[in-house]
């Protein structure tokens, strides 16, 4: 070791270290600082924008929450309403004083009940119909007159203008209907002479829109009968005892207007197989069905009243309804096959002004699986497309658009261009 005092020790001597960078100049540092500042500004702006968006989202979510709470409340109310027992219908027989009156309920017995002074006095008259709470027998509301109630559930036509030639693809069904409903109405003496009762009721069953109502109307037309249509689901809509009363009234009306055809659509609504009746709604359906059975059994089939039921669900019908002397003939009204569709399309395009390029066979092919009601809708729609384009005739594209619209999807098939008018 060398300890000479003149020598600077090794450690204190300035050395050059390779990997240390040259110090930055002030300018460079300033530039970096500016860059960082700009970066910070940008991040700050982004964050502020995000905060504003979140605040907006929060307000929207809060509004949505309020809306959903309101909806929940109204749905709860609705559920409560459905849970509440149906009301009893009664007719006022006498107003005793300003708080009491006597009523006769539609299920039979009479009651002396209290009523509120807040009800409209002008409406509270003997003969008015009121709805009563099932338990307390308090008057809940005064109902519109019976006539109004009837109109909503019943359709009456003196002589419908539907004829058999307006029905396509149901030739066999027409023959059967003629034999079972028309013949007894037109020639009751034939049955008398032979000594048998004419069939009372027939049941038309099949998918919706296939011509069941049309068939019933055509019979009424052919026999000059009044057509009375009721929709069975209307029987059991609201008030206890109302369904049975309506059934009674329909049969009374049919007798009054005889010859007549009673057409009961959606028969399954009151005639589904009896379940263990637990709710008062079920019991109401039962009562209505019992009344219907009683009317069917009770009236003498002299052939001047024909009863036609219709359903899409024959499988769920109560067998009691299908016994002899009730609805004992069943006629299937299926969706139309190829020939059926051709006939139906011919009927509905008869008066239409159609371009010769439209080929019937193509339309028949493209409409496989559709019902008579669908085919009618397609013809109407095709006409509408032509009107929209200010044409006075219907072209192939109109039909294609109409078929697509009715089928609810874009069918790929198109009509070919071979020409030839196929409409008769
Ligand atoms: N076979 C058919 N021939 C001609 N038009 C038909 C035919 N089937 C249905 N239509 C048309 O569809 C319309 C509805 O048919 P309709 O009311 O007879 O059907 P439905 O079987 O009684 O239906 P729902 O079961 O829905 O009561 C008719 O007014 C008619 O324009």
**Residues composing the chain:** 424
CA-CA distance, 267 to 265, in Å (whole number)?
A: 5
Which of the two residues, 412 and 421, has the higher pLDDT score? 412
Closest residue CA from atom 17 of ligand 1: 213
* R_g of the chain computed on alpha carbons: 39
Which long-range contacts (C-beta less than 8 Å, at least 24 apart) are formed by 415-422? Answer: 415/357, 415/358, 415/359, 415/362, 415/363, 415/366, 416/359, 416/362, 417/357, 418/359, 419/356, 419/357, 419/359, 420/356, 420/359, 421/354, 421/356, 421/358, 422/358, 422/359, 422/360, 422/361
* Contact by Cβ (8 Å): 210, 364: no
Mean pLDDT confidence for 40-65: 92
Q: What is the dihedral of CA 157, 158, 164, 169, to 10 degrees?
A: 10
Contacts of 308 (CB under 8 A, 6+ apart): 181, 201, 202, 203, 204, 215, 216, 219, 261, 262, 263, 264
* Contact by Cβ (8 Å): 301, 348: no
Q: Which of 155, 162, 214, 215 to mutate to test the pocket of ligand 1 (most atoms within 8 A of CB)?
A: 214
Query: What's the 374 CA to ligand 1 centre distance in angstroms?
Result: 9
The three-state secondary structure class of 199 is coil
Query: What's the 385 CA to ligand 1 centre distance in angstroms?
Result: 23
Q: Which of 167, 310, 373 to mutate to test the pocket of ligand 1 (most atoms within 8 A of CB)?
A: 373
- 210 annotated to bind ligand: yes
CA-CA distance, 259 to 304, in Å (whole number)?
A: 5
CA-CA distance, 377 to 363, in Å (whole number)?
A: 13
Which of the two residues, 155 and 400, has the higher pLDDT score? 400
pLDDT given for residue 245 in this prediction? 80
* Index of the ligand 1 atom closest to the CA of residue 336: 1
pLDDT given for residue 87 in this prediction? 82
pLDDT-above-70 percentage for the chain: 83
Label residue 17 by pLDDT band (50, 70, 90).
low
- 213 annotated to bind ligand: yes
- pLDDT tens digits along 93-120: 888 888 888 988 877 788 898 887 777 7
Label residue 415 by pLDDT band (50, 70, 90).
very low
- 211 annotated to bind ligand: yes
Mean pLDDT confidence for 234-263: 80
Label residue 146 by pLDDT band (50, 70, 90).
low
Q: How many CB atoms lie within 10 A of CB 323?
A: 13
DSSP classification of residue 364? H
Contacts of 234 (CB under 8 A, 6+ apart): 152, 153, 246
- 340 annotated to bind ligand: no
The three-state secondary structure class of 368 is coil
The three-state secondary structure class of 77 is helix
Query: What's the 82 CA to ligand 1 centre distance in angstroms?
Result: 33
- Mean pLDDT (the chain) is 82
Pocket of ligand 1 from Cβ distances under 6 Å: 167-170, 208-214, 265, 310, 312, 344, 347, 372-373, 376
Judge whether residue 420 has pLDDT over 60. no
- pLDDT tens digits along 367-385: 999 999 999 999 999 999 9
- pLDDT tens digits along 265-302: 988 887 776 555 556 566 777 778 888 888 888 776 66
* Index of the ligand 1 atom closest to the CA of residue 214: 18
Phi, psi of 233 (to 5 degrees): -65, -25
Which of the two residues, 355 and 144, has the higher pLDDT score? 355
- pLDDT tens digits along 297-354: 877 666 688 899 999 988 888 888 888 888 888 999 999 999 999 999 999 999 999 9
Query: What's the 265 CA to ligand 1 centre distance in angstroms?
Result: 12
Closest residue CA from atom 6 of ligand 1: 372
Return the sign of the alpha-carbon dihedral for residues 399, 405, 408, 414: positive
Judge whether residue 147 has pLDDT over 50. no
Query: What's the 129 CA to ligand 1 centre distance in angstroms?
Result: 36
- 209 annotated to bind ligand: yes
Query: What's the 387 CA to ligand 1 centre distance in angstroms?
Result: 25
Query: What's the 94 CA to ligand 1 centre distance in angstroms?
Result: 48
Contacts of 268 (CB under 8 A, 6+ apart): 232, 311, 312, 313, 314, 316, 317
Q: What is the pTM of this model?
A: 0.64
pLDDT given for residue 309 in this prediction? 93
* Contact by Cβ (8 Å): 141, 319: no
- pLDDT tens digits along 169-204: 999 999 999 988 888 888 888 888 998 888 888 999
Which long-range contacts (C-beta less than 8 Å, at least 24 apart) are formed by 115-123? Answer: 115/139
ipTM: 0.96
**β strands within 58-214, DSSP E:** 88-95, 100-105, 110-114, 129-132, 139-142, 154-157, 201-205
pLDDT given for residue 176 in this prediction? 92
Closest residue CA from atom 16 of ligand 1: 211
């Amino acid at each position: 070791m060398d300890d000479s005092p003149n020598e600077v020790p090794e450690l204190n001597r300035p050395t050059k270290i390779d990997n240390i960078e040259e110090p930055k100049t002030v300018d460079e540092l300033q530039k970096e600082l500016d860059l960082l500042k700009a970066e910070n500004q940008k991040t700050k702006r982004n964050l502020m924008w995000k905060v504003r968006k979140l605040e907006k989202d929060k307000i929207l979510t809060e509004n949505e929450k309020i809306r959903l709470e309101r909806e929940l409340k109204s749905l709860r109310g609705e559920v409560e309403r459905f849970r509440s027992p149906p009301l009893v219908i009664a007719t006022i027989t006498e107003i005793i004083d300003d708080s009491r009156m006597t009523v006769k309920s539609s299920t039979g017995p009479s009651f002396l009940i209290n009523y509120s002074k807040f009800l409209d006095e002008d409406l509270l008259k003997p003969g008015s119909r009121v709805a009563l709470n099932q338990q307390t027998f308090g008057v809940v509301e005064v109902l519109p007159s019976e006539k109004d109630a009837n109109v909503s559930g019943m359709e009456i036509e003196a002589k419908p203008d539907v004829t058999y030639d307006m029905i396509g693809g149901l030739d066999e069904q027409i023959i059967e209907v003629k034999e079972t409903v028309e013949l007894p109405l037109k020639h009751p003496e034939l049955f008398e002479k032979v000594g048998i009762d004419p069939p009372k009721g027939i049941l038309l069953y099949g998918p919706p829109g296939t011509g069941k109502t049309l068939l019933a109307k055509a019979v009424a037309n052919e026999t000059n009968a009044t057509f009375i249509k009721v929709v069975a689901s209307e029987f059991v809509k609201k008030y206890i005892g109302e369904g049975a009363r309506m059934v009674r009234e329909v049969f009374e009306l049919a007798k009054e207007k005889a010859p007549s055809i009673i057409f009961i659509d959606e028969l399954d609504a009151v005639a589904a197989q009896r379940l263990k009746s637990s709710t008062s709604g079920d019991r109401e359906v039962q009562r209505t069905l019992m009344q219907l059975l009683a009317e069917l059994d009770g009236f003498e089939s002299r052939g001047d009243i024909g009863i036609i039921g219709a359903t899409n669900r024959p499988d769920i019908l109560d067998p009691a309804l299908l016994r002899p002397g009730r609805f004992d003939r069943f006629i299937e009204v299926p969706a139309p096959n190829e020939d059926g569709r051709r006939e139906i399309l011919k009927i509905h395009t008869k008066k239409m002004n159609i371009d010769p390029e439209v080929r019937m066979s193509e339309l028949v092919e493209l409409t496989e699986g559709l019902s008579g009601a669908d085919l009618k809708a397609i013809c109407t729609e095709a006409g509408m497309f032509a009107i929209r384009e200010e044409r006075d005739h219907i072209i192939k594209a109109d039909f294609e658009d109409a078929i697509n619209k009715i089928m609810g999807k874009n069918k790929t098939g198109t009509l070919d261009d071979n020409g030839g008018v196929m409409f008769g």
